[in-house]
Amino acid sequence: MKPFSYAKADSPEAAIREVNTEHTRFIAGGTNLLDLMKLQVETPDKLVDISRLPLDEIEEREDGGLTIGALVPNSDLAADRRIIERYETLSRALLAGASGQLRNKASTGGNLLQRTRCYYFYDTASPCNKREPGTGCSAFGGLNRILAVIGTSEHCIATHPSDMAVAMRALDATIITLKRDGDKRRISIHDFYCLPGDTPHIENVLEPGELITHIELPAPVEGARQFYRKVRDRASYAFALVSIAGVVKVEDGRISHAALAFGGLAHMPWRNPDVEAALVGKAPTRDAFEAAADALLDGARGFGDNDFKIPLARRTLLATLRDVTGE
Amino acid sequence: MHWTINGQRYEAEPDIRTTLLDLAREHLGLTGSKKGCDHGQCGSCTMLVNGRRINSCLSLAVMHQDDEITTIEGLGQPDNLHPMQAAFVSHDGYQCGYCTPGQICSAVGMLDEVKKGFPSWVSDDLSSPSLNDQEIGERMSGNLCRCAAYPNIVDAIAEVAGLSEDQRQTSQKVSG
C-alpha cells in the first residue's frame, strides 16, 4: 500500500473541505478501496474518513418513497422492514451480494462506486485502459468469462460488479450529492454511470471531491411483483454472470408495467427501454418474452470465453418473466 | 492511537496503513485472528466490531479507535470456553484449525444477526427468517475452510442455535 495522509470528517461539509490533494479519496466501509490499495491499483495520497458522518438513517418521503443515507450498511438496508415491504428487489439484490461480514461494513454509497472485478484491472503487471489509460485492454483475447457483452468498446469490456446498483436502477433511484463548491446535486441513476467508450477510467459522472450523501427511492409501483434473479458460478458469495432486477405488474391478462435492470452484462447496471416496451401492453407469453430478449441482446457481442452470456441472458430473462407473470 | 479490544485498552503508534488485523497480530500480540487471503475473501480474520462481524483485514486500525472490538481471545479462554468454542471442539469443527477463530467469531456474529431478524439470500420470507442448515451455509459463506470441515461446523452452529433435527432439515425454495 502506498503511504497516504488521513483525516476524519464529522460532517459532509467538513468532508468536502478535506479534499485538498491531487488524489484524495473518501473512505467509508473501505471493503473495495482497501482491497485495491493493497494491490496498488488505487493509490490515493489522502483518505478522508467519512464512516462516522450522520448519514446512516433511512427516512420516509412524502411521496411514499424513502431517502437512504449513503452510510447505511448493506446488511441494515437489506433487513429494513420498509425496504423488504416496498422494495423487495433491493433487499434481495443486497442479500445476493458479497458475504455477511462484507455487507456489515459496506455502505450504500460505496456499493454504487464499486470497481470492476476484471482480472486484468486487478493485475498491475497487465495492460489495462481502466487502470492506466492508453495501455491497452488485456481482456481482448484473454480470460474474459466474467466480462461484458453489451455496451462494450474496443478499449474496455469490464462489467460493473454491484448487485445493489442493478436493483437501484430498476427502482429509478436518484443519487444526491454534495459538490466541492457546497452545492447539492440530484443525479438520476440512469444518468450516473458511463459506458467505457475511449475513457474507461471514467465510470460515473461524479466530479472530483463530490460526495454521495443520500439515495432516494420513489414510491413503489402498487400491485407489482418485485424480484432479483442471479446466476453465478457458485451458490453463494460470487459475482453475477447474469442478474435481473425487476418490477413487473400484470393486469387483466396484460403486462401493465415492466422495469428491468441487468447485472453482469455491461460496464454499468444495464437498462434498456426497448426491453420494457416489448412487454408493456402485451399478454405474458413466450413470444413477448422472446421479443424482450431480442431487444436486450440486439448488438450483443461475446469475446470468446464470455460468448455463453448471450444465450444465458436470454434464458434467464425468459425464465424470470415466466415465473413472475405466472400464477 | 488507542483501541478497546476485549474490554482492554491498548495504545500504539502503528503506520497509518495498518489494518485492524495487523494491529492485533503484529502490534498487540493478539494472534488468534488469522491472516488468510488479506483481501476479504476467506473470513479467517473475522472480528466483532460493536458486536458485528467484519473482515478485519479490510479495516484500517485508525478508523476503529472508538469501537468495541472483540477477537477470539475475548470470546473465551481455554478454561472458560464460549459456547461456540465448546461446540466446535465437541463437533470437531476443524482440521488444521487455521480458519477456526474466524469461523467462530463469524458464527457468533451470525447468530446475533438471526436474532435481530436479518434475512439472507435463501430466506423465503424476508420479514421472518428462521434458521436451518441451508441458512447456516448461506450465512457462513464468507468463511472458507480448506480442510472442508463444513459439515461439522454446521453441526456446531446448529447446536449452539438450539435447532432440532427437524428444524435443521427444513428446506426453503431458493428465490431467484
Q: How far apart are CA A279 and CA A256, in angstroms?
A: 8
- All three cell numbers of A313, joined, read 441472458
Indicate the pLDDT class of residue B175, thresholds 50, 70 and 90: very low
Phi/psi at A69 (5° precision): -65, 145
The CATH number assigned to the domain with range A229-325 reads 3.30.390.50
Contact A101 B55 (CB under 8 A): yes
Beta carbons within 10 angstroms of residue A263's beta carbon: 32
- CB within 8 Å of A205: residues ≥ 6 apart: A187, A191, A192, A193, A194
Task: With beta carbons under 8 A apart, name residues in chain B contacting A228.
Answer: 175-176
B 87-126 residues with CB < 8 A to A? 106, 109-110, 113, 116-121, 123, 126
What separation in angstroms does the CA of A60 have from each of A67, A82, B45? Answer: 6, 9, 37
Q: Which amino acid is at B161?
A: A
Pairing of strands A5-8, A46-49: parallel
Q: How far apart are CA B89 and CA B79, in angstroms?
A: 13
pLDDT at residue B170, rounded to an integer: 86
CATH top class, domain A5-51: alpha beta
Q: Over the range A304-316, which residues count as b (16 or more CB within 10 Å of their CB) and which as e?
A: eebeebbebbbeb
Contact B110 A100 (CB under 8 A): yes
- All three cell numbers of B99, joined, read 480458519
- All three cell numbers of A178, joined, read 454534495
ipTM entry: 0.97
Q: Over the range A12-41, which residues count as b (16 or more CB within 10 Å of their CB) and which as e?
A: beebbebbeeeebbbbbbbbbbbbbbbeeb
Could you give the count of Cα atoms lying within 13 Å of B51 in the half-sphere of its Cβ? Answer: 5
Average pLDDT for B103-113 = 98
The distance of Cα A133 from the centroid of its chain, to the nearest Å, equals: 22
Average pLDDT for A294-298 = 98
Fold of the CATH domain B2-75: Ubiquitin-like (UB roll) (3.10.20)
**Torsional class of A242: left (φ above 0), alpha (ψ -120 to 50), beta (otherwise):** beta
Nearest CA distance, A308 vs chain B (angstrom):
20
pLDDT tens column, B57-83:
999 999 999 999 999 999 999 999 999
pLDDT tens column, A184-236:
999 999 999 999 999 999 999 999 999 999 999 999 999 999 999 999 999 99
Q: How far apart are CA A197 and CA A130, in angstroms?
A: 11
CA proximity to A165, closest of A196, A187, A197 = A187
CA proximity to B55, closest of A27, A75, A234, A104 = A104
Pair B4, B62: CB distance under 8 Å? no
Could you give the count of Cα atoms lying within 13 Å of B12 in the half-sphere of its Cβ? Answer: 22
CA proximity to A259, closest of A311, A300, A224, A223 = A224
Pair A46, A25: CB distance under 8 Å? yes
Looking at chain B, the domain(s) classified CATH 1.10.150.120 span: 83-169
Classified as helix, coil or strand, A257 is: strand
Q: How far apart are CA A80 and CA A325, in angstroms?
A: 26
Using N-to-C axis directions, what is the helix angle for B83-91 and B150-160, rounded to 10°?
140
pLDDT at residue B176, rounded to an integer: 45
Classified as helix, coil or strand, A272 is: coil
Q: Where is pLDDT greater, at B171 or A19?
A: A19
pLDDT at residue B174, rounded to an integer: 53
pLDDT tens column, A24-78:
999 999 999 999 999 999 999 999 999 999 999 999 999 999 999 999 999 999 9
Task: With beta carbons under 8 A apart, name residues in chain B contacting A84.
Answer: 119, 126-127
Q: How far apart are CA A23 and CA A40, in angstroms?
A: 13
CATH top class, domain B83-169: mainly alpha
Structural domain spans, chain A: 5-51, 229-325
Nearest CA distance, A175 vs chain B (angstrom):
26
Average pLDDT for A281-287 = 98
Looking at chain B, the domain(s) classified CATH 3.10.20.30 span: 2-75
Q: Which of A4, A32, A34, A239 to mutate to test the interface with B (most CBs of B within 10 A)?
A: A34
pLDDT at residue A79, rounded to an integer: 98
What separation in angstroms does the CA of A100 have from each of A219, B67, B140? Answer: 28, 19, 7
